[in-house]
Chains A and B, each alone.
Chain A
Amino acid sequence: MILILLILIPLLSGILSFAVKGEGAKALALISSMLTLAVSAYVSGANYTAPIAYSHDWIHVLGSQFSLMGDGMSSMLCLLTGIVVLVVMIVNVNKDVEKPGAFYGFLLLSQAGLMGVFLAYDALVFYMFWELALIPVYFLCSKWGGEKRIPVTFKFFIYTFVGSLMMLAGLIYLSMQTQGMSSYSWNDIVRAGSSLSPDKQVWLFCLIFIAFAIKMPIFPFHTWQPDIYEQSPTPVTIILSALMVKMGLFAILRWLLPVLPAGVAYWSDTVVILSVIGIVYASCIAIVQTDLKRLVAYSSIAHMGLMCAVAFGHSNVGMHGVMVQMFNHGINITGMWLMVSMIENRWGTRDMTKLGGMATAAPQMAIALVIISLANIALPLTNGFIGEFMLYNGLFNGSGILIMAVAGLGIILGAVYTLNMIQKAAYGQVTAMAIKKDLSMNEYLGVGIIIILILFLGVYPKPLLDLTAGIASMIVR
C-alpha cells in the first residue's frame, strides 16, 4: 500500500498544482517532494529486511494487474528520484517562472510517472507510466524551453515515441505468449519470453531494445539528447538526464535481460561494442564543445555508454556496479546541471570562452564545481569512483581486457574535458558578470546535499551496495 503513495503523492499534488497560483505552487511542490522522499526512504529502508510488493485488480479483460514491486533496484531509483526532485525544488525556490502552477504541476506529474516506471511489475502498467513520464516533459520543454525549443522538442518526442510504440508492440506480443489467459505480469512475461525460440527472441529483442536504446541513449541513437538538454529549462534537464535516462537502463535490467535471455546472448556483443564506441566517441566530442550544456550532455552519454556496456556483460560485480552507478550518476549529473545553471545565471552565458574567474568572484561556487566535477570523473573517495571501479571490473570480467582498455580511454578523455571546463570557468581573470553573487542560501542547501552524498557514498558506499546486492545477483543469475 505504501508503494502507491509514491505515485499518488506527486500525481495528486501535480494535478492540484494547476489550480494554485504563484508562490503557493512552489510551497506545494516542496512539501510534496519532501513527503515523497520520506516515503521512498522508508521503502528503501524496508528493503534491508524484505521488499514491499503491492497488487490490485486493474484491467481484467487484458489480464493486466496493477502490481508494483519495491525491490532493491526499484526502491533505490525511487529514492534517487525523491532526492533529485527535492533538490531541484529547493534550488528553484527563489527563481521566478512563468505560470508556476502549471510548471510545477508538470514536474510533479513527471515525477509520478517516473515512480510508476520504477515500481511497475506489470508490463501494461509499466508502459502507461513510461508515457506518463514523457508527456509532461514535452509540455515543459515546448513551453518553458529555449529559443529553438519547438523543433527540438518535436524531434525528441517523435524519436522516443516511435521507440515506445515498438516496445508496446513487443510487450503485447509477449503477453499473447503467456500460458492460459493473456497476462502482463512480470513473472508471466519472463516465463513467456524466455521460453520462446531463440529466433523469435532475436527479433523481439530488436523491437524492445530500440526503445530503451533511444531513451538512455546509446550510440548512435543519441542525437536528440544534446539538443534537448541545451533547450530545456534546467529543472527539466535534470529530470531528463538524472532520472529519465535511467528509465532506459532500468527497463533493460527489468524488462529485457531476464525476459529474452537468448536474444540478449545473441545481441550482447553488438551492444557492448556500440556502447564502447559511444564512450570514446562522446568523450571526443565533449572535448571540443564550448557550450557548457552540450559538454555535460556528451559526458553523460559517455557515462551511460559504460553502464550499458557492463549491463550486457554478464558479470556479477559489473551488474552491482551498474546499480550503484545509476544512483551515483544521477546525483552527480544533477550537481553538474545545477552548477551549469548557476553559471548561466551569474555570467549570462554558457559559452566557456566567455567565462572565467569564478574562483575569485564566487569561491564557494568554484569549490562546489570542482568537487562535483571530480565526482563526475570518478576520483577516488567520491561516489563516482566506487561505481566506475566496479563497472570497469565488470567490463573486464565480462568482455575482456581489450574492451575494458578501450573504454578506459574515457577516463583520460574525461579528465581532459572536465579540467578544461574547470580551467575556463573557475580560473583565470574575472570576466564580465551579469550578477556578481556567490551561492545563495537555498543554492547552498541544494548543492550541499549533493556534495554530502558524493563524499559519503564515496567513503562509505556500504548502504548503497547492500541495498542492491541481492537484485544484482538475481539479474545476472
Chain B
Amino acid sequence: MGNFSQLVYLVPLFPLIGFLINGLFWKRMPKALGGIIGSVAILASFCVALGIFFEVKSPDFHGPVIVTLFDFIQSGKLNVPFAFQVDALSSLFLLIITGIGFLIHVYSTSYMHDDEGMVKYFAYLNLFVFSMLLLVLGANYLIMFIGWEGVGLCSYLLIGFWFKDKENTDAAKKAFVMNRIGDLGFLVGMLLILFSFGTLSYQEFFGQLHNGGTIVPASTYNWIALCLFIGATGKSAQIPLYTWLPDAMAGPTPVSALIHAATMVTAGIYMIARSGALYSLAPMILHVVAIIGLATAVLAATIACRQYDIKKVLAYSTVSQLGFMFLALGTGAYTTAVFHVMTHAFFKALLFLGSGSVIHAMGGEQDIRKMGGLGKHMRITQITFLIGCLAISGIPGFSGFFSKDAILADAFSSNPVLYYLGAAAAMMTAFYMFRLYFLTFGGSFRGTEHQHHHLHESPAAMTIPLVVLAILSIVGGYVGLPEVMSEHNAIASFLAPVVTNFGEHHLSTSLEWTLMAVSVSVSVIAIIMAYTANRKPNFVPSTGIAKLLENKWYVDELYDAIIVKPINGLSNLLDKYTERRGIDGVVNGVGKTVRWGSDRLRLLQSGQVGFYIFIMVLGIVVLFSLSFFWIK
C-alpha cells in the first residue's frame, strides 16, 4: 500500500479549509455552493482516511505511525508536540467520522436548503468534523483535549443554531457547561498523568505502564482513571451529566445524527478504549464504569418508553446505548465497546436521519401523537427506519445484534447480575423503538388536514444516505462475529495491536447460545408488546409511574433545586452583602474614619498660642516620664 499515513494531516486539513472558506465568505457565498464545498471537503478526507485504513490493515503495517507537525507547548520538561498518531483505533474512527460525516453533509444540503444560515451551518459542521478528527488523531492527551473541547464548542454552536429562540440557546448553554464540568475532570486527570509520568504522549505513557518504568502507588492509577472517566461522563452523556443530551435535540436534526448520536458522544468511549492499558490497572474504576454505564442504560431506557417527541425518544435511546458501551468498557471489553460504537453509529445516524425525513414531511412537527400512517407516503423512509429499529433491537442478522450480544455475553461472564439488567434494558430498547415505529408509520394519520396534504417522500439527497446507512446497519455487524459462529472476529483482531479485551472469560458454547436466545426472545416479546399496545393508541394524561417517566424522573428539576439555585443564591448573597457591604464597606469605613479623625484633629489647630504651649509642655512631661520608667 502507499504511504498514506504520512499524509494523515490532510484528513483534518480538508474540513478546516472548508470551514475557513465558508466561514470567511459566508456573506457572499451562494447557499448551494456552501453545501458543495462543505461536503466535498469531507469526501476528500474520507478518501484519505480510506487509504490510511487499508494501509493500517495490511500486514506490512507495524506499530503506530507518529506524525509530528510542530512544537506546541514546550516549557522546560513539559514538551507537548502537535502530533498525530495513526494506528488501528484512530484509523477506524477516522472512517466512521468521515464516512458518516459525508453522508450527513449530503443529507444536509437538502434538509437545510430553505434555511438562510445554510453556509454558516456548513462552516460549523466542517469545524466540528475537524475537531472530532483532532480528537481521535492526537498522539497525546493534550491534542485529544483540544478536539474534545472543540467538538463541545461546535455542539454548542449547532444546538443554538436557531439562536432567536431562547429555548435553543438555553439548551446550547446547558450542553457546554455540563461538558465543561466533565472537562475539568479530564484536565485534572491529564495533569495527574503529567505529574506522575512526566508525559502526555500515549506511546510514552502506555510504554511506562507496560514496563512498570515509573513506580507510582496503585491509587494513582485509580485517580487518573476516575478523573478521565468524569470527563467521559460529560461528553458521552452518562449519569450524572447526561441531561444535556436530550435538550441538545434543539439543534437541526442532521446535527443530532452526526454529533449527538454517531460521533461526538462516543468520544468518551474512544478515550477509555484508548487508555485501556491504564484502566486495566485500575479494576476498581472499571467497576465504577460498568455500574454507571448500566445504570444509565436502564434509566434512559425507562424514560424513552414514555416520550412523545420523536427526537427525544432517539436522544434517550442514544444515552441508553452509550450506557451499554460503558458497560462493555467496564467489563474490560474495550474492543466490544468500539464495535458497538461503530454499529450504533450506523443505525442511530440512520434513525435520526429518518426522523429528520419524517419531520421534514410533517412540516416541522415532532410530536408522534400527531403522526401515524406515514408509511404509505414515504416508503423509503419507512423501510430504512424499520431496518434501523431492527438493528438497535438486536434482531439476528442486523448489526446491533452482534455488538449488543457481545456486550451482554461479556457482562454475563463478568457478573450475571449485569447481564440480567442489561437484558432488561435491551428489552426496553426494543419496546420503545417499536412503539416509536408503530406510532409514526403504523395506523392512520392523526395530524391536521393541512399536514396530511403536505406529506411526501424526501428528495434523493436525503433518501440516498438513508439507504446507504440502512445497508451498513445490516452488514456492519459481520465484522465482529461471536466466537460461537466464527473463529475469526475481524474487528477484535484488527484492533489487537492497540487494545485488547482485559480479563477475557470464555463462556461455554451452549451457554453463549442460551444467552443469545434469551436476549433475542425478550426483544421479540417487547416488539409484540409494543405492537399490541400501540395498535389503537389513545393518549390519556398519564399518572403514577408513567407520569414520572414522562417527566424524566424530574432529574432536571432536582439539579435545578440542588445546584443551580443554590449557586445563584450564593452569588447574589456574595455580591450584595460580602462584596458591597462587607469588603467594600470596610474599605470605605477606613476612608471615613480617616476623614472623621482629620476633622477632629483639625480642631486642635485653634490658633491660640497658649494652647500650643500647653500641649508642648504636656508632651515633654510625657516623654520624660516614659524615658524615666522604661528606657534605662
Contacts and interface: CB of A to CB of B under 8 A. Distances in A.
Given A287-B567, A428-B166, A317 B177 contact: no
B164 A224 contact: no
Contact residues on A (Cβ < 8 Å of other chain), bracket:
35 or more
Given A287-B568, A423-B173, A405 B188 contact: yes
A415 interface: yes
B139 to A, nearest CB: 16
Contacts of B75: 316-317, 320-321, 390, 465, 469, 472
Contacts of B574: 281, 284-285
A296 B476 CA distance: 51
B74 A401 contact: no
Contact of A473 (B76, B170, B570, B578): B76
Interface stretch (B141-149, B346-354, B551-559): B141-149
A207 to B, nearest CB: 17
Contacts of B70: 460, 462
Interface stretch (B52-60, B190-198, B305-313): B190-198
Shortest 7 CB-CB distances between A and B: which pairs? A380-B146, A427-B163, A223-B584, A284-B571, A320-B75, A288-B571, A415-B180
Nearest to A220: B583
Contact of A429 (B146, B153, B164, B177): B164
28 contacts: A155-B591, A224-B587, A281-B574, A284-B574, A284-B575, A321-B75, A359-B163, A380-B150, A386-B73, A389-B142, A390-B75, A392-B191, A393-B191, A397-B195, A412-B177, A415-B176, A415-B180, A416-B177, A419-B177, A420-B173, A423-B160, A423-B166, A423-B169, A461-B72, A462-B70, A462-B74, A465-B74, A469-B75
A379 interface: yes
Given A389-B142, A423-B169, A428-B166, A401 B192 contact: yes
A461 B74 CA distance: 9
Contact of B579 (A223, A389, A393): A223
A381 interface: yes
Contact of A374 (B153, B169, B170, B587): B153
Contacts of A416: 177
A159 interface: yes
Contact of A408 (B78, B188, B591): B188
Contact of A381 (B146, B169, B170, B572): B146
Contacts of B578: 281
Contact of A288 (B72, B177, B572, B591): B572
A411 interface: yes
Nearest to B576: A288
Contact of A412 (B72, B180, B191, B591): B180
Q: Is the interface of A mostly helix, strand, loop or mixed?
A: helix
Nearest to B594: A158
A220 B74 CA distance: 34
A281 B570 CA distance: 10
B187 interface: yes
Nearest to B71: A462
Interface in A382-417: 385-386, 389-390, 392-393, 396-397, 401, 404-405, 408-409, 411-412, 415-416
A197 interface: no
Contacts of A381: 146, 150
A473 B76 CA distance: 8
A426 interface: yes
A360 interface: yes
B13 interface: no
A289 B169 CA distance: 19
Contact of A396 (B172, B173, B191): B191
Contacts of A408: 184, 187-188
Contacts of B180: 411-412, 415
A322 to B, nearest CB: 11
B194 to A, nearest CB: 7
A381 B72 CA distance: 10
Given A287-B567, A386-B73, A427 B160 contact: yes
Nearest to A476: B76
A288 B177 CA distance: 16
Nearest to B587: A223
B181 interface: yes
A302 B150 CA distance: 23
B31 to A, nearest CB: 16
A427 B145 contact: no
A44 to B, nearest CB: 18
A379 B587 contact: no
B402 to A, nearest CB: 36
Given A223-B583, A386-B73, A428-B163, A393 B173 contact: no
Contacts of A423: 160, 166, 169-170, 173
B183 interface: yes
Given A284-B574, A285-B571, A392 B187 contact: yes
Interface in B556-594: 567-568, 570-572, 574-575, 578-579, 583-584, 587-588, 591
A220 B590 CA distance: 14
Interface string A40-51: 000000000000
B158 to A, nearest CB: 13
A282 to B, nearest CB: 9
A427 B571 contact: no
A390 B200 CA distance: 13
A74 to B, nearest CB: 19
Contacts of B73: 386, 389-390, 461, 465
B162 to A, nearest CB: 10
Contacts of A222: 583
A393 B78 contact: yes
A98 B79 CA distance: 52
Contacts of A404: 188, 191
A166 to B, nearest CB: 14
Contacts of B191: 392-393, 396, 401, 404
Given A380-B149, A469-B75, A427 B164 contact: yes
A254 B145 CA distance: 34
Interface string A424-460: 0011110000000000000000000000000000001
Given A285-B574, A317-B78, A320-B76, A419 B173 contact: yes
Contacts of A289: 575
Nearest to B120: A363
From A155, A223, A281, A420, residue with most partner B Cβ within 10 Å: A223
A390 B79 CA distance: 11
Given A224-B587, A461-B72, 6 more contacts: A285-B579, A423-B160, A427-B166, A427-B169, A465-B74, A469-B75
Contacts of B160: 423, 427
A287 B566 CA distance: 13
Nearest to A155: B591
Interface string A57-92: 000000000000000000000000000000000000
B65 to A, nearest CB: 23
A287 B572 CA distance: 9
A337 B70 CA distance: 33
A285 B194 contact: no
Contact of A428 (B164, B571, B591): B164
Contacts of A469: 75-76
A203 to B, nearest CB: 20
A409 B171 CA distance: 21
B575 A415 contact: no
Interface in B31-87: 70-78
A355 to B, nearest CB: 13
